[in-house]
């Protein structure tokens, strides 16, 4: 499952950041992920993977927020910019295939919040998976 490897990647990115900032971990309260509609991620599946793989780790019980970015293309011929619902890359106005993707391919961790009051954790479960 593609979503599971993305969830594991999200954990890795946040752990690396925490390790770099605090030389340890804190329980994570909230994670916000930005996903472009062209990235073929199923939001519900990603949240499920995040919650289940996060069990017993610093991500246990963290709120998962997903921001979806619409698909947008810019036509290089007629210069029109437009939002599209289907990932077919042609201009809806002049039918040119000479288009560029403006948005919709995003996939990254936007922000996350930690619970500093809970105290620092030296090693997290599943850290080395
Ligand atoms: Zn056009």
Q: Which domains does the chain have, with CATH numbers?
A: 2-70+104-116 (3.30.2320.50)
- Written as six digits, the tokens of 116 are 């500093």
The Å distance, Cα 43 to ligand 1 centre, comes to 31
**Cβ atoms of residues 26 and 121 within 8 Å:** yes
**Cβ atoms of residues 104 and 69 within 8 Å:** yes
CA 90 to each of CA 39, 71, 81: distance values in angstroms, whole numbers, following the listed order: 18, 12, 11
Question: Model-level pTM?
Answer: 0.86
The Å distance, Cα 39 to ligand 1 centre, comes to 24
CA 42 to each of CA 2, 38, 67, 94, 118: distance values in angstroms, whole numbers, following the listed order: 9, 11, 12, 31, 32
The Å distance, Cα 40 to ligand 1 centre, comes to 25
**Cβ atoms of residues 81 and 74 within 8 Å:** yes
The Å distance, Cα 93 to ligand 1 centre, comes to 5
Q: What is the pLDDT along the chain (129 residues), one digit of tens a residue?
A: 599 999 999 999 999 999 999 999 999 999 999 999 998 899 999 999 999 999 999 999 999 999 999 999 999 999 999 999 998 999 999 999 999 999 999 999 999 999 999 999 988 876 655
């Amino acid at each position: 499952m593609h979503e599971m490897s993305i969830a594991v990647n999200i954990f890795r990115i946040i752990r690396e950041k925490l390790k770099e900032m605090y030389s340890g971990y804190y329980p994570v309260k909230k994670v916000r992920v930005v996903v472009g509609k062209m990235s073929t991620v199923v939001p519900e599946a990603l949240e499920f993977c995040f919650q289940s793989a996060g069990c017993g780790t610093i991500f246990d019980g963290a709120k998962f927020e997903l921001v979806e970015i619409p698909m947008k293309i810019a036509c290089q011929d007629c210069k029109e910019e437009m939002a599209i619902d289907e990932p077919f890359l042609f201009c809806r106005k002049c039918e040119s295939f000479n288009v560029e993707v403006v948005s919709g391919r995003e996939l990254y961790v936007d922000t996350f919040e930690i619970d500093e009051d809970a105290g620092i954790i030296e090693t997290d479960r599943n850290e080395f998976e």
